Amino acid sequence: MIRLIIFSAILLFAISCNKQEDRVLLRVRNVSTEDFKNVRLYQQSMGDVDAGKETGYKEFEMAYKIAFVELELKGVTVSLIPIDFVGETPLENGKYTFEIGVNPLAQSVYDQITLQLVED
């Protein structure tokens, strides 16, 4: 009986781990030296992300290698807004990290952040 319980627990754990790969899971990593507040990725709240830190993964129905990002930087709301997703291929199921940095040459609130996608 004990063997059956242990086998069932291992099987359940293995199945739950594999299910995560059947979805698009995204997180945000702050690669800047500034703290980010109220980070939004594709309209989903990712919370605050301190300099050098990252969020946990969140599930998204669909995502692309470019993304809508909005956050507060030094008390100012800045954003990265793609014009459209025409010609973009949706990401395959798996885990990804959007690395967000600060553009030191920024001239408006629309080019103050940089974005790079990393497949985990």
pLDDT in tens, 33-64: 999 999 999 999 999 999 999 999 999 999 99
- Which pTM value belongs to this model? 0.79
Domains of the chain: 24-119 (2.60.40.2890)
* Tens-place pLDDT, residues 56-83: 999 999 999 999 999 999 999 999 999 8
Interatomic CA distance for residues 46 and 96, integer angstroms: 14
DSSP 54: B
**Residue 86 backbone dihedrals phi, psi, to 5 degrees:** -60, 130
